[in-house]
Amino acid sequence: MRVMLGLILLIAAGLKAHQLATDPLVTLAPSSPLPLGEGWVRALAPLLHSRPFLIALVEIELLFGLVLLWGIYPQLTWALSLGCFGSFALISLSKALSGAATCGCFGRVPVNPWYTFALDATAVLALVGWPPHGESPSHVRPFARYAAVVAVWLVAGTPVALATWTEPAGTLTDLGEVLADGRTVILKPQTWVGQRFALADWIDIGDRLGQGEWVVLLYHRGCPKCEEALAESEKAVSDSITKSNACHVAWIQMPPYGDLRDGNSSTNGRLVFGRLNLAKNWFASTPVEIMLSQGVVRRVKGG
């Protein structure tokens, strides 16, 4: 049981580290209302979604997982495991009751909160049912085991911390300039209302978006919510095709890119397709629907 719980923590730490290293938006996710302890969850939201806290959480899970695998201080680690997985169970239960689609425990891998609650609750029951009875016999001296844990943690944890502490992300000005020296740019469409649609400078069909009325849809390939938004958008275009004053629609795919439909094949040219310039690493919460009038953002939905 000790080894199994240690492996669970190591897997969770690895998947969280991967998400932190590849997605700067993970630290911007809002804290959703939870039935259990909603007040303190809201109060702690800035901390819980800060990058230093999330990196520290990964490092703690990594260290504790190694301690469990090596069997150090069985009485103490049993008590810590009970508190750790008991807390995980409460968090998973709260997310399950609030209707969350995934628990977030395993990074990008979506896992139903009810499943993680069952796993955490089972771990708690197993820990209560089988407490440790003294230290397990080992031919390795205690100091050597402690040194081995620290050495492995440093070897594995240092590159994890460096990889997850990404370069400062830039933002886009209304002039189309990126305020940062690095390549990562976080898009905040809700702040663009009333301003020129500066992102058009970075879109391959951006020169067409400055004239007339447009609905721009930012989406990720393979995103279920994005697929629903695309289907609704295509239906809206088909329903309005007989209206001479109907606005045009642009589907802009966010990286990583997949197959892109041919814009020339759209019905009456009202639906066109484009991509962002790969000179930057673009990040945005999708789908995002942006209404434009003569190149100015009038309304933003989503994001």
Indicate whether 184 pLDDT > 50: yes
- Output the six-digit token pair for 182: 């690095």
pLDDT confidence of residue 164: 72
234 or 77, greater pLDDT: 77
- Across 53-67, 234-248, 256-270, least confident range: 256-270
Say how far apart CA 83 and CA 70 lie, in whole Å.
19
Q: Which residues pair with 112 in a beta bridge?
A: none
Say how far apart CA 3 and CA 77 lie, in whole Å.
12
- The pLDDT tens digits of the residues spanning 9-25 come to 999 999 988 888 777 66
Which residues of the chain does CATH 3.40.30 include?
A: 184-302
pLDDT confidence of residue 180: 60
As a CATH number, domain 184-302 is 3.40.30
